[in-house]
Amino acid sequence: MKTFDVPRFYKSPFITRVKEARRVADPRKRDLSPTVLDFGPVRFKLARHFGFCYGVENAIDIAYRAVEENPGKRVFLLSEMIHNPHVNADLNARGVQFLRTTKGEEIIPLETLRPDDVVIIPAFGATLEVMARLREQGVDPLTYNTTCPFVEKVWKKSEQIGGKGYTVVVHGKRYHEETRATFSHAKEDAPVVVVRDLEEAHLLGDVIRGRRDAAFFFQTFADRYSEGFDPVRDLQRIGVVNQTTMLATETQAIADHLRAVMVEVYGDEAVGTHFADTSDTLCYATNENQNATLALIESGGDLAVVVGGYNSSNTSHLVELCERVMPTYFVSSADEIVSPTLIRHFDFEDKELLLTEDWMPEKRPFDIVLTAGASCPDALLDEVVRKLVGWLPNSRQVEDVVDEVVLAG
């Protein structure tokens, strides 16, 4: 696999070592069991897969290269390159300016761009409309295009099935950058509708069955269908693609349900004509991280700490999995862990920061389940572990524990 030039300060003196030791011992990634870091009074159970994925490393490599190769020029990011505040803040400190917010709100008008400006396309991609506007300003949007290859794979599949007469059903959050871009690309070749979750897929299934009428469709899926969409005509043949950071199991459940609806309406023998196979659009990294988190949870723990950007979709789904079975704290960095008795953490459902007292168990030893989103640098987990271990008397040295784990393979 291609390697990328990721700045050293994003790496960790020990987390990266542990990940590399697991990679060498299990190159086929068959063992999803967590790595146990036993410090005595606390044991960290570290997920088999977490942190920077291929697409994120690719984006970071390109973005930092854009800064280095263009001294004296204005360098812009279309929006946040990835959903991690530390990465985006560092780029901002190096002079990179943001043209838009993650919601698509304009910060700097595109009309003010000049042909010699540099614009970096984020890992989530960009809409065709924005790409066209950049070209109108004389800016080549493909020179530093960090769009994730797995996002582009979803676009290609949408184009492929759209060309065969299928409507594209996107499992995603309609105004997430990636879904906005996927919607824009897909509508060039097919009718498109976005469903947020399995509950909405059931409602769409009712429209396909004829249990709900067109008026219900237009009201329920307002702002989430392409121009000229006709639910009677356009829901006879469909294929499901995904926002790559959604729960992979939910994407599969949505596809399975809608396929079953097509079997019910058209019969098993005709289902291939009415439902396209799009299972190859699931992102490998999202799948790996979620499966590793499920194995992590199964191993047991007293609490979970999940590290990542608060607007990171893939990280929020790891939090969602952990919250089902144990107290879970979603933090952006070690700074949020105020003391052994106080932690500041994010509630991704209500979009607010919470303060929780007495969050650390009194019993010794206790187990912390630890993982991170795909846009989270290893260095942030390093800081979390060192901070917590530093508060607990009689803890073993970090380097000694890591040496033990690495030697054990």
Beta strands in 11-152 (DSSP E): 35-38, 42-46, 75-77, 97-98, 118-121, 144-145
Banded pLDDT at 265 (limits 50, 70, 90): very high
Where residue 394 falls (left for φ over 0; alpha for ψ -120 to 50; beta otherwise) is: left
Please give the radius of gyration of the chain, using alpha carbons only, rounded to the nearest integer. 23
What is the mean predicted confidence (pLDDT) over 235-262?
94
The reported pLDDT for the residue numbered 407 is: 84
Cα–Cα distance, 369 to 297 (Å, whole number): 7
Banded pLDDT at 10 (limits 50, 70, 90): very high
Evaluate the omega torsion of the peptide bond into residue 7 and state whether it is cis, within 30 degrees of 0. Answer: no
Q: Which two tokens stand for residue 220?
A: 């329920």
The reported pLDDT for the residue numbered 133 is: 96
Amino acid letter for position 131: M
- The pTM assigned to this predicted structure is 0.91
The reported pLDDT for the residue numbered 13 is: 84
| For residue 385, pLDDT beyond 80 | yes
Percent of the chain beyond pLDDT 90? Answer: 89
- Domain 54-145's class? alpha beta
Cα–Cα distance, 116 to 137 (Å, whole number): 10
| For residue 242, pLDDT beyond 80 | yes
> In the CATH hierarchy, which fold is given to the domain comprising 8-53+285-408?
Cobalt-precorrin-4 Transmethylase; domain 1 (3.40.1010)
| For residue 247, pLDDT beyond 90 | no
The reported pLDDT for the residue numbered 82 is: 85
Q: Which neighbouring-strand residues pair with 240?
A: 169
The reported pLDDT for the residue numbered 260 is: 97
Tell me the per-residue pLDDT of 69-85, one tens digit each, with 9 for 90 and over.
Answer: 999 999 999 998 888 99
Tell me the per-residue pLDDT of 112-156, one tens digit each, with 9 for 90 and over.
Answer: 999 999 999 999 999 999 999 999 999 999 999 999 999 999 999
3-class DSSP state of 331: strand
Beta strands in 189-277 (DSSP E): 192-195, 238-242, 275-276
Cα–Cα distance, 294 to 301 (Å, whole number): 12
| For residue 302, pLDDT beyond 90 | yes
Tell me the per-residue pLDDT of 390-405, one tens digit each, with 9 for 90 and over.
Answer: 999 999 999 999 999 9
Closest CA to 50 of 403, 375, 297: 375
Catalytic residue set: 178
The reported pLDDT for the residue numbered 307 is: 97
The reported pLDDT for the residue numbered 391 is: 96
Tell me the per-residue pLDDT of 279-296, one tens digit each, with 9 for 90 and over.
Answer: 877 788 888 999 999 999
The reported pLDDT for the residue numbered 1 is: 60
> In the CATH hierarchy, which fold is given to the domain comprising 151-281?
Cobalt-precorrin-4 Transmethylase; domain 1 (3.40.1010)
Banded pLDDT at 409 (limits 50, 70, 90): low
Which residues of the chain form CATH 3.40.1010.20? 8-53+285-408, 151-281
Q: Which neighbouring-strand residues pair with 345?
A: 354
Which residues of the chain form CATH 3.40.50.11270? 54-145
Work out the end-to-end distance of the chain between its first and last CA atoms, rounded to an integer number of angstroms: 22
